[in-house]
Amino acid sequence: MRAAILGLRPAVVNAAHLPCGCRPRIMRRAKPEEVAMLHRKLSRREFGRSVGAAFGAFVLGPRLAEAARRPRGVPENVIQLNSNENPYGPSPRALEAMTEAQQVAARYPDALEDIVVEAIAKLHGVQPENVILGCGSGEILRMADLAFLAPEKNLVVAEPTFEAVLSYAEVTRARPVKIPLTADHRHDLVRMAAACNENTGLVYLCNPNNPTGTIVTREEMETFFARVPRTAILLVDEAYHHFVEDPRYASAFAWWGRIPNLVIVRTFSKIYGMAGMRLGYAVASREHIAALRRHRLFNNTNAAVLQAALASLEDTGHVERHRKLNNDTRRWLCAELERDGRRYIPSETNFVMVHVGQDVTPVIAAFRQRHILVGRKFPSLPDWLRVSIGTRKEMEAFLAALREIVPARAAAA
C-alpha cells in the first residue's frame, strides 16, 4: 500500500468525495473494523450503482473534460496560457489513484487525510501536528488571513504579488501595506521590513513571486527574517518552488525550527498538475496550525485528490520530468524573445512576463481572438503580459501570435 511505501502506518482508508464546506461534523479516525467492512460488504446494488456511474463517466467524460478545459464563452481548440497550470497534467499514477478512490466514495476521507498529512510531514521532516490541508493553497491563505488579521492589524505585501491573500484580507478589514517591487522586479525586502510594526499581523512573501517569476535569495531571506518582528506571521508561499533552478534560492524550510513565526504554504496545483482537484497545505508550529484550523472548512478535501496526492508524492520522477519540460520550454521562449529584441523578466517559474510597449488590455483581447488565453492586466505593470508556459507547440503558437500582434519594434518603443 502507498502508506507502506512512504514508511507510514498501514493505510486505513475511509474516504468520500464531498465539496468544500459540506455538513459540519466532528472529525474522527476510522476504526479498522469499519474499513474492513467497507471493503468486504459491497452489495450487488452498490456494485450496480458503481458500474452505472462508471458508464456515465465513460459516455460524458470527453464532453465534461472539454468543458472543464475551456472557460465559458471561449471557442473550441483554445490554448490556455493564462493560469500557470501544468499542461501535461497529473502523474499517471495519480490518475490511476483517482479512479481507485471510487471504491470508497461512500465514506468520509478522515483516515486517508491522516495518511496524507503524515506523508507531507515525513517529506519535510516535521510532525503531523505541524501540517494542515486546504482546498487548494487558496484556502490556506484564507485561513491565515482570518487567523492572524483584524481591523487593527496590517498586512505587508509586495506589489504586485499573488492577490488572493489581499482579497481574503478584505473580510478582516485589516490595512494592506503594498510595497512596490524594485527596478528589476524583485521584492524590496528592505522597505517591506521597514513597513512592519507592532500592528503587523501578517507578512506575505510569494517566492518565487507571481506574476514576475523572480526569487528571493537565501542571503536576502536570512536578512529579511531577522528584521521582521516575531509578533508578525511570516507567510511564505512556495507554489512555484519546484521550478526553481537558481542556486541562490532556498526554500523557507531551511529556516524551519529557527523562525517560530514562520508559515510555509505549498500546493498540488502547479508541478503536480492537479489545479482542478484542489489541494494545498501549510507547515507551521503547532500553535499556528491550531489557529489556522479554527478557520478551516469541514470536509475540505476528498478521497480522489488525497489518493492522487499520495501517488504524486511517490512519483518523484514525474516531478523531475515536468520540471525539465517546463524549464526547457521556458528557456526556448526566452531565447526567442531575446532574438526578437524583446524585454522580459527572467523567471524561475512556469510563466514569463513579456514587455509589450503599450497598454496590455487590447493585446490580451487580440490573443483571445486568435483562441489564445494569456494572463490578465496587472495595474502596477500595465504594459507587461504574463504568459504561462505550455507545451512547445503551444508556445510556438503564442510566439507567432505575439509577433503578429506586437511586432518587436513596437514592443521596444
| Mean pLDDT of the residues in the chain | 87
Entry pTM: 0.84
Residue 409 has pLDDT above 90, yes or no: no
**Taking CA 262 as the corner, what is the angle to CA 256 and CA 268, rounded to the nearest 5 degrees?**
85
pLDDT at 408: 86
325 three-state secondary structure = helix
Domains and CATH numbers, the chain: 110-314 (3.40.640.10), 317-412 (3.90.1150.10)
pLDDT at 413: 65
* Average pLDDT for 365-381: 97
Residue 193 has pLDDT above 70, yes or no: yes
**Burial label, 96 (beta-carbon count in 10 A; 0-12, 13-18, 19+):** middle
- The pLDDT tens digits for 148-191 are 999 999 999 999 999 999 999 999 999 999 999 999 999 999 99
- The pLDDT tens digits for 344-364 are 999 999 999 999 999 999 999
Buried b (16+ CB within 10 A) or exposed e, 134-157: bbbbbbbbbbbbbbbbeeebbbbb
- Is residue 148 within 8 Å of 301, Cβ to Cβ? no
pLDDT band at residue 376 using 50, 70 and 90 as cut-offs:
very high
Among 343, 367, 347, smallest CA distance to 357 is for 343
> Helix 303-314 to helix 92-100 angle, to the nearest 10 degrees?
150
Residue 241 has pLDDT above 60, yes or no: yes
- Is residue 175 within 8 Å of 154, Cβ to Cβ? yes
Lowest mean pLDDT among 19-23, 73-77, 199-203: 19-23
- Is residue 65 within 8 Å of 257, Cβ to Cβ? no
Q: Which residue type occupies 295? A: H
